Amino acid sequence: MKDIRDIYQEIAEQRAELASCILTRKERKETQARLEAALAEAERRRREDMGA
């Protein structure tokens, strides 16, 4: 299981890549999907921590 800091680092990296890199449509779609998955995982962990 990834540490919560890893998730937030991954989110930051994906956002930076989307904001500043020249990507093909396919790369942009893949990066956006990874970002959405990381955001969902961070939210899941946040809820899990609040419930614990």
Give the helix/strand (H/E) hosting 7.
Answer: helix 4-20
6 vs 28: CA distance, rounded Å: 21
Summarize pLDDT for 8-52 with one digit per residue, the tens.
999 999 999 999 989 999 999 999 999 999 999 999 998 998 886
Question: What pTM does this model have?
Answer: 0.79
Q: What is the largest CA-CA distance in the chain?
A: 42
Dihedral angle at the C-alpha atoms of 8, 19, 30, 14, nearest 10 degrees? -10
> Hey, where are the domains in the chain?
4-51
